[in-house]
Amino acid sequence: MLDKAFDPASMESRLYAASEASGAFGAHPESNSQPFTVVIPPPNVTGSLHIGHALNNTLQDVLVRYRRMQGRDALWMPGMDHAGIATQMVVERLLGAQGKTRKELGREAFVDRIWEWKAESGGSITRQLRRLGASLDWPRERFTMDAGLSKAVIEVFVRLHKEGLIYRDTRLVNWDPVFQTAISDLEVESRETKGQIWTLRYPIEGEPGRFILVATTRPETMLGDTAVAVHPADPRFADLVGKKAVLPLTGRAIPIVADAYSDPEKGTGAVKITPAHDFNDYDVGRRHDLPMPTVLDAEARIWLGEIAGELRAVEGVSDPEFVRSLAGLDRFEARKQIVAELERLELFEKVEAHANTVPHGDRSGVPIEPRLTLQWYCDAATLAKPAIEAVETGKTEFVPKQWENTFFAWMRDIQPWCISRQLWWGHRIPAWYGPEGSLFVERDEETAKAAAKAQFGRDVELTRDEDVLDTWFSSGLWPFSTLGWPEQTPELAKYYPTDVLVTGFDIIFFWVARMMMFGIHIMGEVPFKHVVIHGLVRDEKGAKMSKSKGNVLDPLELIDAYGADAVRFTLTALASPGRDIKLAKARMEGYRAFATKLWNAARFCEMNGIAARPDFDPSAATTPLARWILDGANAAIAEATAALDAFRFDDYASAMYRFTWNSFCDWFVEFAKPVFYGPDGAEKEEVMGAAQHVLGVILRLLHPVMPFITEELWTHLGYGGEASLITTPWPEAVAVRDPTEARVELDGVVRLISEVRAVRAEVNVPPSITTKLLVQGAAPETLARANRWIDAIRRLARVTEIEVLDGAPPKGVVQSVLGEATLLLPLADVIDLGAERARLAKDRVKAEGEVAKVNAKLGNAEFIAKAKEEVIAENRERLANAQAEIARLDAAMARIAS
RNA sequence: GGGCGCGUAGCUCAGCGGUAGAGCACUGCCUUCACACGGCAGGGGCCACAGGUUCAAUCCCUGUCGCGCCCA
């Protein structure tokens, strides 16, 4: 016998272990079944399961379990990402706690240390995914740094390099001074900051006493200024263009150039140009062929290496000694000293508060520093074209579709992707440098050496590029590298392209776009057919969850408290397309109750001797109750299937909730009770058969979202052995004899019972009081039906017997209208006439409103002329019904009055 | 500044041309032999606002206001 309450904690680990051990999570490349492939968005090896992962992986698991039950050869590929910066950060911090630095350790030892760390504490998330119930094919688990994937990375790099799609270039990059590496545009976030804007006086060369006022938010970079720019159409500066200004502090003469970049409305209309430390200035510098001296080092400290030779002393303007004293100073400290020096020199005009957006490194959180460096780039624009086309032509579809616009907007304006990182943890770039600036990009050192030998005619010394690749380079290969590429494995042949990618909108650019570009270019096919984008999980007030706000819901704690099934069901039910999820614990309590409800319904079945009966033939069922619930189950199957096919997780969940609770528990089980408690026989046999059949359908339909409880009940009630539900076929509609007739029958009884209940409740009749039900004016079939269902009506409507009323109604009846019939409950002793009168009056007001509304419509000639036939007919019927109801309510009130 | 999304019952959200829905919360009654994580019944909405299209608008169009996100 099942326990009285469902206790998820006591069974989840056992059930998961059994499923995993059964091999049901595994794909079968050798089978002939149609594949269904999903690759997990690989969580960072440093990560632990947060609520966003819980949502993301629940949705994937729902899809995978659904398709697996449909007979597809499902492969859900697990794995983790090496997460370059994030992981290096974690291990560096650990070293720091021991008073060591990575530089002391040296590259090789440091990388070894990271591998050690990964072996000890990395990847705890995979255990947590198991707690969630994720049916990943674990033996296939991959890591972006493992040997196979590294091989794929090298292969792609070498190929793209040979095709000219990967190249080296000296450009301005976003430089993170904390990690001392270049980062891509995407890893930069703009932050509003309350800063200041300084107005400085640059003396005009050869015109003592004349100055040009320049406005800047970054005075510390002025050491690298190589021009002052004014707008070509700005009359204030027309005569200055072509002249030179003397750059304060350094004494260098710099040209005043006309360039439309300078906005006459902003600041003073003249801007200083520092090409090596500002993206806009860089463009100006290129247009005017300006020198581009770098004045900040990798840690964003003042560095004089490129300007030291040009320092000149100019009375009242510059002092090389001062500039030399700045060397090695942090940029913000240098700013203070430079401003102070300019004040001293009276070259400082004013400073004002200024709100500006400052680019910050998304990991380090400090302002990034544009720096002119030699880096590796990927020609993203070329790779983007076919990716855009694939979405335009529907080879890959985003769900919801509106995300395609986001994708297009970015892809159509994509910039060269800086793929080199000055880190130690990652895929080292397969490039070797030899004599005379020679470069060899090859799959390994040996090949590079051979190539060098071929070129130089002798063995030469080669040094490998120190840099590693952007983490997203290897993640971009995920859909095929995990399947064995570049080897032509059976897995690759069978499971690529994948079917669905489920992810959050925050990594459309980082990840989805890169997979599209690489997948199409390398494999010749899009990496996935559907991209399902879900929202962000927020707290119940809609705020982003964050540790600092303390509003984080830990999915593991939620699983402890409510069970994995309830957590999964909640996330699934709330996953409406295009919307963030506001998650409150109250929701989870509600869905835990749903799990309990299902448990108890199964328990009820069990107590009544219901067990799985594979020989039951639903198409042979004759009793209306059996046919009705079988028909309802058919509808539930259709709803659930359609919802899952359309990625409408919310619709799937609510359809299951409604059918299980409202149809099966509230009505079917209640109607079945008189049958179960009655004599044995064909009817009982059949209703029991229908009960076990429909419960089996419910368990199967719910399995994708609630794998634990369904598996437990499935086994317990004898539908199948341990861990068998997961591979049981998805239910299909069964033939049901004359379902319409069954619906008319049962829906009629439901309406009758509901009406009697409502009337009783409204005049405050306690359930302990039972009464006769008098029926007036009922059609013969209505009466016959009521009599057929007398047992259920007795139980559910607190009625003792049903009598036809021909003559005048007795005094003190409570009346109600149901279709053509009037229902009367003799409750003279119990009810309060005032309450009854009020009730009738209220119903009458409602009916009058209806009459007025419909009358107005039908009285409109244009409505009659232009509206659809069925709409007009429907309104005529509504009018007739409402008028009849008014007549009967009036009659009822007249009787009370008498 | 450009783009996208959202404003529907107290809350969280479906619906998106033809009688306004769900869950939770709330109110009343009920410890009825699966379940009080329960049963039954009920109250609660100018569908943000203003125009327009239409026989008919919560739904389509335009604008306004408010909220959120992305990009510059």
Vertex A764, ends A759 and A770: CA angle to 5°? 75
**Residue A826 belongs to some domain of the structure:** yes
Residues spanned by the domain of A309 = 186-365
* Rounded mean pLDDT, A682-707: 96
**Residue A536 belongs to some domain of the structure:** no
**A361 and A224, same structural domain?**
yes
State yes or no: ipTM above 0.90: yes
Residue A8 has pLDDT above 70, yes or no: yes
Both tokens assigned to A229:
């720019």
**Residue A808 belongs to some domain of the structure:** yes
**Which nucleotides on chain B have any atom < 7 A from a protein Cβ?**
3-6, 11-15, 18-19, 22-25, 28-32, 34-42, 54-56, 69-72
Distance (Å) from CA A652 to C1' B8? 22
**Residue A319 belongs to some domain of the structure:** yes
- Beta partners for residue A175, in sequence order: A182, A369
Residue A619 has pLDDT above 70, yes or no: yes
Strands (E), A279-392: 348-361, 369-378
Strand B contacts in A 242-281 (CB under 7 A): none
Q: Is strand B within 7 Å of residue A791 (CB)?
A: no
Q: How far apart are CA A894 and CA A688, in angstroms?
A: 48
Of A86, A281, A43, the C-alpha closest to A183 is: A86
Strand B contacts in A 837-876 (CB under 7 A): 850, 860, 862-863, 865-868, 871, 874
Q: How far apart are CA A468 and CA A35, in angstroms?
A: 35
**pLDDT attached to residue A444:** 92
Residue that is last in its domain, among A316, A340, A365: A365
Residue that is last in its domain, among A721, A737, A753: A737
Q: What is the largest CA-CA distance in chain A?
A: 122
Helix/strand/coil for A368: coil
Report the b/e string of A475-498 with b at 16+ CB within 10 A. bbbbbbbbbbbbeeeebbebbbbb
pLDDT in tens, A503-537: 988 888 889 999 999 999 999 999 999 999 998 88
At A715, the amino acid letter reads: T
pLDDT in tens, A622-643: 999 999 999 999 999 999 999 9
**Residue A90 belongs to some domain of the structure:** no
**A718 and A797, same structural domain?**
no
- The torsion angles phi and psi of A379, rounded to 5 degrees, stand at -75, 80
Please report, for the domain that includes residue A277, its CATH number.
3.90.740.10
User: For residue A422, what are the contacts with CB-CB under 8 A and spacing of at least 6?
Assistant: A179, A180, A181, A182, A298, A466, A467
**A833 and A791, same structural domain?**
yes
Residue that is last in its domain, among A714, A737, A760: A737
* Rounded mean pLDDT, A156-169: 95
Residue A828 has pLDDT above 80, yes or no: no
pLDDT in tens, A334-381: 888 888 887 887 888 888 888 788 888 888 888 888 998 999 999 999
Q: Which percentage of chain A shows pLDDT scores above 70?
A: 100
pLDDT in tens, A771-815: 899 998 899 999 999 999 999 999 999 999 999 988 888 877 888
Q: How far apart are CA A776 and CA A779, in angstroms?
A: 9
Q: How far apart are CA A359 and CA A279, in angstroms?
A: 11
Distance (Å) from CA A496 to C1' B43? 56
Q: Can you list the alpha helix ranges (DSSP code H) found in A70-218? A: 84-97, 102-105, 107-121, 124-132, 147-162
What is the rounded radius of gyration, in angstroms, for the C-alpha atoms of chain A? 38
Please report, for the domain that includes residue A585, its CATH number.
1.10.730.10
Strand B contacts in A 520-559 (CB under 7 A): 540-542, 544
**Residue A118 belongs to some domain of the structure:** no
**A812 and A694, same structural domain?**
no
**Residue A413 belongs to some domain of the structure:** no
**pLDDT attached to residue A898:** 55
**A575 and A722, same structural domain?**
yes
- The torsion angles phi and psi of A256, rounded to 5 degrees, stand at -100, 115
**Residue A672 belongs to some domain of the structure:** yes
3-state secondary structure A783-811: HHHHHHCHHHHHHHHCEEEEEECCCCCCC
pLDDT in tens, A563-614: 999 999 999 999 888 888 888 888 899 999 999 999 999 999 999 999 999 9
**A720 and A604, same structural domain?**
yes
Of A81-85, A90-94, A837-841, the least confident: A837-841
**A725 and A801, same structural domain?**
no
In total, how many domains does chain A have?
3
Strand order in the sheet with A417-418: A181-183, A166-176, A369-378, A417-418
**A679 and A617, same structural domain?**
yes
Contact criterion met (CB below 8 Å) for A324 and A336: no
**A705 and A623, same structural domain?**
yes
At A172, the amino acid letter reads: L
Q: Using CB atoms within 10 A of its CB, is residue A122 exposed (0-12), middle (13-18) or buried (19+)? A: buried
**pLDDT attached to residue A432:** 94
**A213 and A259, same structural domain?**
yes
**A858 and A722, same structural domain?**
no
Distance (Å) from CA A405 to C1' B51? 30
pLDDT in tens, A382-391: 999 999 999 9
Q: How far apart are CA A33 and CA A47, in angstroms?
A: 35
Q: Using CB atoms within 10 A of its CB, is residue A701 exposed (0-12), middle (13-18) or buried (19+)? A: buried
Helix (H) or strand (E) holding A593, with range, is helix A585-607
**A339 and A255, same structural domain?**
yes
Nucleotide nearest residue A410, measured CA to C1': B71
Q: What DSSP character marks residue A424?
A: S
Q: Is strand B within 7 Å of residue A669 (CB)?
A: yes
